[in-house]
């Protein structure tokens, strides 16, 4: 199995080092820390060129079919862009809810003082490059986050398929159908989802059209 890992950084030398470490996966010289359960998983690094427009970056991520992203915190050491790595993470998460993303930085103190960000998803670049255990830990978390993300979507699709058989039976079922539909849509592409209020106001043929659209979504 192979996972595509997008790398977003403005420093070519750092990108090269990240590519090398990602390709090493979770393999270790020390069997005590080797995560053998992931031996069959390959991490395929993909460089994503910076663009001044954040929305263009989202399009590039889609084109590359990334399963997760590693993003530099500052994104401005070699060239100027108007956003930080955290800004980009927030924009991506608004469009793809729960998408696996990790920030690598040499400025952890700055990151936690100036930004609100999950410490679990932040790694020190220098330690990742220099320390085998740190590399294995991050690569393992990348794999686990991808699996968690995929599982949550598949579970929602499974439940939605079951509920669709009883659509229209009662308000509770229809509300859950709309809730699951919104979750799946936002996980796949949040920019195109319908507002929840609008969905709840749909009736008759309009609701049937929405259900038909959900069926097509589940077949992707």
What rounded mean pLDDT belongs to the chain? 78
pLDDT of residue 145: 92
- What's the average model confidence in pLDDT over 148-165? 85
CA dihedral (98, 157, 3, 18) in degrees, to 10, reads 0
Instruction: Measure the CA–CA gap between 77 and 167, rounded to whole angstroms.
Output: 54
% of the chain with per-residue pLDDT over 90: 25
Provide CATH 3.40.50.2300 ranges for the chain: 2-148
Residue 51 near residue 11, CB atoms below 8 Å: no
Tokens 């993470």 sit on residue: 89
pLDDT of residue 219: 56
Quickly state the pLDDT bin for 4 (edges 50, 70, 90): very high
Q: Which fold has domain 2-148?
A: Rossmann fold (3.40.50)
Quickly state the pLDDT bin for 118 (edges 50, 70, 90): low
Instruction: Measure the CA–CA gap between 220 and 218, rounded to whole angstroms.
Output: 6
The pTM for the full model equals 0.77
């Amino acid at each position: 199995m192979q996972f595509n890992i997008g790398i977003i950084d403005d420093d070519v030398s750092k990108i090269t080092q990240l590519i090398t470490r990602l390709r090493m996966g979770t393999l270790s010289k020390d069997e005590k820390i080797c995560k053998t359960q992931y031996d069959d998983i390959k991490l395929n690094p993909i460089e994503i060129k910076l663009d001044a427009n954040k929305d263009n970056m989202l399009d590039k991520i889609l084109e590359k079919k990334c399963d997760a992203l590693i993003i530099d915190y500052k994104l401005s050491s070699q060239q100027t862009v108007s956003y930080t790595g955290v800004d980009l993470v927030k924009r991506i998460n608004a469009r793809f809810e729960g998408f696996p993303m990790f920030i690598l930085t040499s400025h952890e103190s700055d990151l936690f003082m100036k930004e609100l960000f999950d410490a679990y998803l932040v790694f020190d670049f220098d330690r990742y490059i220099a320390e085998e255990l740190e590399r294995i830990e991050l690569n393992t978390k990348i794999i686990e986050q991808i699996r968690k993300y995929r599982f949550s979507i598949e579970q929602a699709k499974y439940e939605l398929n079951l509920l669709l058989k009883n659509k229209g039976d009662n308000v509770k079922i229809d509300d859950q159908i709309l809730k699951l539909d919104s979750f799946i849509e936002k996980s796949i592409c949040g920019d195109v989802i319908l507002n929840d209020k609008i969905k709840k106001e749909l009736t008759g043929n309009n609701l049937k059209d929405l259900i038909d659209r959900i069926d097509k979504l589940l077949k992707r």
